[in-house]
Structure 1
């Protein structure tokens, strides 16, 4: 697992090198969202408001909201709407909540704006009728007429008391004053009792609910709309691809440092060399539809490899290759033939191996104790099933590879294949890409002179 911190530059590099794959996955996500919108048809939602006059506590309003969305009200609304809908179906499409100002908002959802409006209005009407029935508006007529009769009787009694007070002795005697005072107290007590009766009577105050007009016809779909589903699908696939790339890079077990690579192969590191980066090919390597798809999506190049550093110049690259080759000569007891083992698919290592072969053929100054330079032969080895040619005239194997491309298990497999073929790994060379300097015009002199190499491509050296 890599311990490198994921930085913005890493995300930017991934977006630059995987933009085609991310674009394709984003389009796929948008298509999935569009398909989901076809499976789930659009819905429209509107609300009808019911006013509850009088004094209501919060818990009472919540109770009324529960009643408005109960099966008793919804089933009556379904029966009024017709046989094409059922109460069970409507229960999931009707909701109610208590709002400020003693208002119950009843919301209905349907496949069309007209259906949502009709559903909300019908449920509101059925709620008012049901609440009135509960409060006693439609109960026994005699019981409903009782409070009104009592009010009339109180009014008549008050008038009778007034008449009695006026007919009493108008004198200022103690008895007359006490009589008028008692009559006035009696009338006041009757009026207060009637007020309390009105406040306690639910049929007088709380049953007179009012539907505050018809529900407004919705002009747009309720969430999630088709546009929202398409955008959500595209965003989900894009973020999943980005997170997947970052997670894969985080758990990557590819070896990035020279000591780790040397330990996995069980040999000594001779040095590191740099290879100038080349423009990506305009056509994929290999044949078949899979190669074309990988090329189109940008999967044929690594995205988690840092951008190449600027090259130090051709002369510096040649010096570093000579130093690596000199160390290789010092490792050999005598000049002979060596296999240069390169993992398949490692283009940077393959070009570095070609440069080493060219250096071996062009070096005119072998060590005085040597009769000649070793002869190098490059062979490609599959990391999935490594197989190295049996030992013949070769006296060992030189492994050339790029950093950050292979795991410890894959490198151990290459070392084991070399051992099975009778080759001793005499050294390791790590290659890395660099950015070549711009090509000079013919009239400009070079900054530094260096002998030309008969190589397959320019190769540059890193730190040795």
Structure 2
């Protein structure tokens, strides 16, 4: 994963080698989504519409929407429903919006279609009833003021009508100054009459503006409102899988341990003679819960190691080791350097020694952090055996420098990969340069 871009082939290899882990993440994400549905799923939702008759200003409509979700209306609705709930609990389940046409839309949600319908209808009814009570509190004063306004307007209309009639009789059809003034006065009086009539109409409209009508019963919902239980479960599973994929890609990108044969050979200043498979062995002590879980979901080894087909049987595996020894161009004894704590490499060295036959291989454990290689004038050089994906470039450079300090040439490297015997495929020898 040292490239700057992530290829689709890498994603495909990740899915193939981490499918158990991704399935476990999907199940975990589904469980988290199911738990989130208990908190965030709105259940069933429906609406009820209330028509406000008469002309209304925009701020008046917003005020009416706030009244519809006020504590007084919700408390009355909770008391009338008899659900053993309070208005404060209904506040998160009820909302009101204003639409075109002087309509206040009341939305209600509940855990069942019947309750959602009942809640919407009850809140709408209590909203209309409470608004009517607010208006009726000032009915007498408002009616008296409206009556006085109407009487005054009617008197103005009567006086103006009389003046128009009188002037109409006095005006002749000539073009004298007096006739022109008379016509001007008549026009002004007619304007006053029209204004008085408009005022009367506005007063009548204001008198009927307080009326509200519920536009039918709320519809019973046929399905849950989004996000539903299924959507949350599917979304949680998909989200966790994506997090797992990107997390694995990011971890592989930031991991400095070398996997590629060319990179390992360049760090050691030599070439990789071959890659060998090492069957996994059961640990002597029982592994902990974390180790068992990692083995179960196959996260106990890097997923981006190069492909290596496991040997079909023991003779095939020994043949692979003999080919590696054959490529080791040295007649004198060879130092075999094995990093400390690399169990697969130690098991591979046992097979290499057996495959070496008459050749002398001297096995030396070295510390990757502070490597020390012993001096040996009879040794032809050093052979490094390590597991792919376990050492960084600086650790391998340190081993190569330790070999140079001891006067040894790095003859090559052998990479090991632990394999599970249950996944052994058809025999196929894959070594560097083969």
Tell me if both proteins adopt one fold, taking TM over 0.5 as the criterion. yes
Of the three residues 195, 217, 228, the one matched with 2:198 is 195
Q: Does 1:338 find its partner at 2:335?
A: yes
SS in 2 for 1:106: strand
| Deviation of the 1:23 alpha carbon | 0.9
Q: Which residue of 1 aligns with 2:47?
A: 47
* Residues 1:224 and 1:76: Cα distance change in structure 2 (over 3 Å): same
The CA distance in 2 between the partners of 1:169 and 1:233, in whole Å, is 86
Structure 1: segments with no counterpart, 5+ residues:
310-316, 330-334, 363-373, 440-456
Partner residue in 1 for 2:317: none
Structure 1 distance, partners of 2:182, 2:128, is 49
- 1:78–1:195 Cα change, 3 Å: farther
Which position in structure 1 is the counterpart of 2:410? Answer: 427
**8 Å contact from structure 1 (residues 48, 105) kept in 2:** yes
For 1:122 and 1:17, the matched residues in 2 are separated by 57
Q: Deviations over 1:340-378 (max 9, x none)?
A: 5266557589658845863x437xxxxxxxxxxx50155
Cα 1:142/1:97, change in 2 over 3 Å: closer
SS in 1 for 2:48: strand
The counterpart of 1:406, out of the listed 377, 391, 397, is: 391
Matching of residue 225 in structure 1 with residue 247 in structure 2:
no
Task: Report the CA distance shift for 1:347/1:201 in structure 2 as closer, same or farther (over 3 A).
Answer: farther
Shift of residue 247, structure 1, vs aligned partner: 1.2
TM-score, normalised via structure 1 length: 0.66
Q: TM-score, normalised by structure 2?
A: 0.70
Q: How does 1:385-464 map to 2 (within 5 A)?
A: 397-408=382-393, 411=396, 426-427=409-410, 429-431=412-414, 460-462=431-433
Q: How does 1:213-362 map to 2 (within 5 A)?
A: 213-256=216-259, 261=264, 268-269=269-270, 271-275=271-275, 285-286=282-283, 288=286, 293-307=293-307, 321=324, 324-326=327-329, 328-329=330-331, 335-336=332-333, 338-341=335-338, 347=344, 351=348, 354=351, 358=355, 360-361=356-357
Deviations 1:239-272 (A, max 9, x none): 22112101111110113567865786xx652x22
Instruction: Provide the rounded CA distance (Å) in 2 between the counterparts of 1:393 and 1:346.
Output: 29
Question: CA separation in 2, counterparts of 1:95 and 1:340?
Answer: 74
Deviates more, 1:192-201 or 1:236-245: 192-201
Q: CA RMSD in A?
A: 5.2
Q: Which residue of 1 aligns with 2:312?
A: none
Q: 1:142-221 residue pairs with structure 2 within 5 A?
A: 142-144=141-143, 146-147=145-146, 151=150, 174=172, 189-190=192-193, 192-199=195-202, 203-221=206-224
> Residue deviations 1:379-428, cap 9 Å, x none?
7779799999x999995753223554322465578789999xx9876425
How far residue 28 of structure 1 moved from its aligned partner, in angstroms, is 2.1
Is residue 275–residue 433 contact of structure 1 (8 Å, CA) maintained in 2?
A: yes
Note the residue ranges of structure 2 that are not aligned, 5 or more in a row: 174-178, 310-319, 418-424
Shift of 1:115: 3.0
8 A contact 1:45–1:107 mirrored in 2: yes
Equivalent residues, number: 409
